[in-house]
A and B are shown apart, each in its own frame.
Chain A
Amino acid sequence: MERHHLVSKTRTLLIAPVVFLSIFFVVPVANALLRFFRFTEFSDVLGNQSLRGVAWFSLWQAILSTLATLVIGLPVTWALSRYTFRGSRIARGILTAPFVLPAVVVAAGVLAITDSRGAIPILWAHVVFNVSVVLRIVGPRWTMVNLRLEHAAATLGARPSRIFADVVLPHISDAVISAATLVFVYCFTSFGVIAILGGVSRRTLENEIFTQAVRLGNTATATALAVVQAIIIGAVFFITGRSSRSQSVSLQVSSAMQLQSRPHHRATPVIITATAIVIIASPLLATIYRSLVVNSQFSFSAWRTIFSGSLPALSVSPQSVIITSLVFAIAVACICVPLALLVASNSAPRALFSLPLVVSAATLGIGLIITFNRSPISWRSERWFIPVIHAVIALPLVVRALEPAVEAIPASLRNASATLGASPFTTWHRVELPLLRPALLRATGLALAVSLGEFGATSFLSRSGSTTLPIAIAQLLGRPGAATQQAGFALAALMVLVTVGVMSRA
């Protein structure tokens, strides 16, 4: 097979995301590790029985959660990528919305329904969050599988399962592995869900890191645990990275077919979608329910309050919380999407730009506090610092959302453009960017989503009047008083409704 050496791309532009990540991620994390890591503590941690148990629990619940997510997520991804039918758009919105929501909301919703804690509720909550990841990463790849290839296979006598295994799976396997890895990492580093649904005996490494660092002030232990966590995650990435192959996929996007045209078993996609919706939407409905009903009384007062009233339990008005969150989210999209595009276009090393996923939020948080504390870089209390950190955290995800689309652009298109006199930049600007438009929109939605729901590293930063939605919701739910809590659920329900709306557009 011939390899075409393309006219060199503008690799120098890669400097921007690298510098960005270095300043706002690598430096603070390195600082925290250098300051607090002690090898003696590390070996103590490795030998500690109960901590080993914590690591084991983190692992097996993450593996089970990932499997559960794939089992529920892949069929519904198939249904929504292949077919359009009445309600499929809204279904997509509902299934992708939970990604944004703070853990306390989803977990409270699950608890309200199951009325018990333990492994099953944890798995359920994880599925609710992560089916969205499968949809967003595998979905676009699935639509790129050329329908004609499937038809050809069918005419050659292949059964649907055979077609899936031989025609579809090779095309989507990369995306599935990528999605599964991401879901695993999220479940492995799960904090809020485990805190609420795990009961006291079940903790993940992330919970333990937070406890040690923040509650007990044992920074050495916390850092040691963070390193253990990072090693495990790094190993997972390494293993899955090995098994994925880089493939060129044709640009031919098969648009989803109308359900009526499906020859047999027309109900199947609908049933699959409906099942997924029931599993994922019920905790969300519980949230909406609790925003409207208190003491068996139905009332809109909480909703009225969040739009036009004030809440003594919050130091700022709910309206300013909503606006702050939105402004931050837009800022994050503006920062993150261009940077991610540069990374995806220049096939930058996956490892570097996946780092924010590997490192514990608590470690980053601590690093940010001790690094950006003294002038001239005493930025930790600055308002703009928060969206910047959101962007750091969103970057790996947005890159992953853009990569398949970038890779799908055939080299011949670039060549044609070059022979017409277009410099590499002009080719990128006039030919590639327009082709990336759908992916860019999805990536923007993703960046917005991550920013709106971020509650990890940035909760370490102090705020002065710049409270975001997740923090406000946690604060409201953390105070006594029925009206206060109802308002908390109203804000949470607002997040649910808005994101369902936004996600069904993307």
Chain B
Amino acid sequence: MLNVSNLSVTFGNTVLLDNISFTVPAGETLAITGPSGIGKTTLLHAICGIIRTSHGTVHIDNVDISALPTHKRGIGLVSQTGDLFPTLTVSQNIEFGLRIANMSKTDRATRVKELLEMVNLAHLAHRNVAELSGGEARRIALARALAPRPQVLLLDEPLSGLDQTTHDALMSDLARVLKQTATTALLVTHDQSEAAILATSMIELTR
């Protein structure tokens, strides 16, 4: 369960986020919508600890993680730009978090295989990430974020910029994966129908 309470982010004199509070029950997906530039990405970054908050707390399963650095929060992120590591192959990208968790080689291989199958890209295991198409890269980014079984998964406009067919395919896969893994998720999107399909509840950020 994710609980955000009175979260505020200011930068100098500008208030980027003002007293945001919400709760996401375990295993459910909350969609965050709102116009461009309102601070949806900022909110995600604040929750996973990439930017500093001026006020407010974040709790996961009633444990206060607000003071923890990003790498200790156990919160996964699929950003808008995918951010696959260019010098690693697809498999190496996916197992990145697993290596850090000191998983054994065989266990890692099993998990990677599992995730690749989950996103239907088992045949790309040893591919260079530069060769992936847009849709494929998004799926791998998703697989990578899910691999270490994060407590919470943040998704920043995962379906934007894709052609209709890829968009629809990815959306149904995403819905299936989220349900299958029972991950607590936050989904940032500006598309209301997407929110309706993927999420169980929705909040809208306004000025």
Contacts and interface: CB of A to CB of B under 8 A. Distances in A.
A3 B88 CA distance: 28
Interface stretch (B27-35, B45-53, B160-168, B198-206): B45-53
B158 interface: no
Interface string A348-359: 000000000000
A415 B49 CA distance: 9
A366 to B, nearest CB: 46
Given A420-B100, A421-B97, A415 B76 contact: no
A435 interface: yes
Interface string B135-167: 000000000110110100010000000000000
A410 B86 CA distance: 12
Interface in B104-145: 144-145
B51 A420 contact: no
Interface string A406-418: 0000101101111
Contact of A419 (B48, B51, B81, B86): B48
Q: Which of A3, A416, A418, A431 has the most CB of B within 10 A?
A: A416
Given A7-B71, A415-B70, A419-B77, A430 B96 contact: yes
Interface in B178-204: none
Contacts of B79: 412, 415-416
A40 B130 CA distance: 65
Contacts of B144: 420
B178 to A, nearest CB: 17
B83 A416 contact: yes
Interface in A419-445: 419-424, 426-427, 430-431, 434-435, 437
A233 B16 CA distance: 43
B169 interface: no
Contacts of A435: 86-87
A216 interface: no
B50 A413 contact: no
A426 B77 CA distance: 18
A421 B100 contact: yes
B42 A421 contact: no
Contact of B69 (A7, A410, A416, A434): A7
A416 B77 contact: yes
B45 A415 contact: yes
Counting chain B residues whose Cβ lies within 8 A of the other chain, the interface size class is: 35 or more
B55 to A, nearest CB: 15
Given A2-B16, A2-B42, A7-B70, A251 B50 contact: no
Contact of A423 (B45, B71, B147): B71
A416 B79 CA distance: 8
A4 B51 contact: yes
A388 B11 CA distance: 44
B52 to A, nearest CB: 5
A486 to B, nearest CB: 49
A175 to B, nearest CB: 22
B148 A5 contact: no
Contacts of B56: none
Contacts of B49: 7, 418
Contacts of B147: 420
Interface in A1-51: 2-7
Nearest to B97: A420
Given A413-B85, A435-B86, A420 B50 contact: no
A427 B76 CA distance: 15
Contacts of B148: 420-421
Q: Which of A2, A420, A431 has the most CB of B within 10 A?
A: A420
A431 B88 CA distance: 9
Nearest to B84: A416
Contacts of A416: 77, 79, 83, 85
Contact of A426 (B69, B73, B87, B100): B100
B128 to A, nearest CB: 13
Contact of B77 (A4, A415, A437): A415
Contacts of B58: none
Given A5-B51, A7-B49, A418-B50, A251 B86 contact: yes
A421 B71 contact: yes
B75 A419 contact: yes
B71 to A, nearest CB: 5
A421 B85 contact: no
B70 A418 contact: yes
Contact of B87 (A5, A410, A418, A434): A434
A415 B83 contact: yes
Nearest to B73: A419
Contacts of B63: none
B200 to A, nearest CB: 23
A80 B86 CA distance: 25
Given A3-B11, A4-B50, A251-B86, A419 B96 contact: no
B87 A421 contact: no
B73 to A, nearest CB: 8
11 contacts: A2-B41, A7-B49, A7-B71, A417-B96, A418-B48, A418-B69, A419-B50, A421-B97, A421-B148, A426-B71, A434-B87
Interface of B: 11, 16, 41-42, 45, 48-52, 69-77, 79, 81, 83, 85-88, 96-97, 100-101, 144-145, 147-148, 150, 154
- For the complex of A and B, list the 9 residue pairs with the smallest distance between their C-beta atoms, beginning with the closest: A420-B97, A418-B70, A416-B83, A419-B77, A434-B87, A421-B100, A5-B52, A418-B71, A412-B83
